[in-house]
Amino acid sequence: MKKKYTEKDLVETKIATIAEQNPQFLRMQTDAVQLSNSQKTIREFVLHPGAALIIPEIKKGELLFVKQYRYPLKQIFLELPAGKIDKGEKSIETAKRELREEVGYTARTMKYVTSIHPVIGYGDEVIHIYLARGLKFVGDSPDEGEFLIPQVLTLKQAMEKIKRHRITDVKTQIALFWYEKILKGLW
Amino acid sequence: MKKKYTEKDLVETKIATIAEQNPQFLRMQTDAVQLSNSQKTIREFVLHPGAALIIPEIKKGELLFVKQYRYPLKQIFLELPAGKIDKGEKSIETAKRELREEVGYTARTMKYVTSIHPVIGYGDEVIHIYLARGLKFVGDSPDEGEFLIPQVLTLKQAMEKIKRHRITDVKTQIALFWYEKILKGLW
CA distance B142 to B149: 11
What proportion of chain B, given as a percentage, has pLDDT over 90?
Answer: 71
Q: How many domains, in total, are found in chain A?
A: 2
What proportion of chain B, given as a percentage, has pLDDT over 70?
Answer: 93
Contacting residues for B104 by C-beta, under 8 A, at least 6 apart = A1, B137, B138, B139, B140, B141
The pair phi, psi for residue B45, each rounded to 5°, is: -155, 160
- Both A21 and A109 in one domain: the answer is no
- Both A153 and A67 in one domain: the answer is yes
Task: Answer whether B140 sits within 8 Å of A2, measured CB to CB.
Answer: yes
* Three-state DSSP class for residue B77: strand
- Both B121 and B78 in one domain: the answer is yes
Asked whether A103 and A58 are in contact (CB, 8 A), the reply is no
* Three-state DSSP class for residue A133: strand
Q: Is B89 an active-site residue?
A: no
Contacting residues for A184 by C-beta, under 8 A, at least 6 apart = none
Does a structural domain hold residue B119?
yes
Asked whether B46 and A64 are in contact (CB, 8 A), the reply is no
- Both B116 and B82 in one domain: the answer is yes
- Both B95 and B43 in one domain: the answer is no
Q: Which domain holds residue A55?
A: 51-183
Contacting residues for A183 by C-beta, under 8 A, at least 6 apart = A60, A61, A155
Does a structural domain hold residue A101?
yes
Query: CA-based angle B93:B168:A174, to the nearest 5?
Result: 80
| Average pLDDT of the residues in B132-139 | 96
Q: How many Cβ pairs within 8 Å bridge chains A and B?
A: 210
- Both B61 and B24 in one domain: the answer is no
pTM score: 0.93
Residue A8: pLDDT band (50, 70, 90) is confident
Cβ contacts of B154-157, under 8 Å, gap ≥ 24: B154/B61, B154/B62, B154/B63, B155/B61, B155/B62, B155/B63, B155/B179, B155/B180, B155/B183, B156/B61
Does a structural domain hold residue A160?
yes
B154 C-beta neighbours (distance < 10 Å), count:
14
**Chain A: residue whose CA lies nearest to B103:** A1
Does a structural domain hold residue B2?
no
Cβ-count burial A64-84 (b if 16+ within 10 Å, e if not): bbbbbbbbbbeeebbbbbbbb
Task: Answer whether B5 sits within 8 Å of A173, measured CB to CB.
Answer: no
User: Average pLDDT over chain A, rounded to whole?
Assistant: 92
Q: What is the model's pLDDT at position B142?
A: 67
Catalytic residue among B144, B146, B160, B180: B144
**Chain A: residue whose CA lies nearest to B104:** A1
- Both B148 and B77 in one domain: the answer is yes
Angle between helices A155-163 and A170-183 (to 10 degrees): 130
| Average pLDDT of the residues in A155-176 | 98
Contacting residues for B90 by C-beta, under 8 A, at least 6 apart = none
Q: Name the residue facing B39 among A126, A145, A181 (closest C-beta).
A: A145
Asked whether B3 and A20 are in contact (CB, 8 A), the reply is no
CA distance A100 to A64: 13
Least confidently predicted of A23-37, A114-128, B155-169? A23-37
What is the maximum span of chain A, computed from C-alpha positions, in angstroms? 62
The pair phi, psi for residue B12, each rounded to 5°, is: -115, 135
- Both A100 and A130 in one domain: the answer is yes
**Chain B: residue whose CA lies nearest to A178:** B163
Least confidently predicted of B71-75, B124-128, B137-141, B154-158? B137-141
Residue A180: pLDDT band (50, 70, 90) is very high
- Both B120 and B41 in one domain: the answer is no
- Both A35 and A97 in one domain: the answer is no
- Both B96 and B146 in one domain: the answer is yes
- Which CATH number is A90's domain given? 3.90.79.10
- Both B43 and B90 in one domain: the answer is no
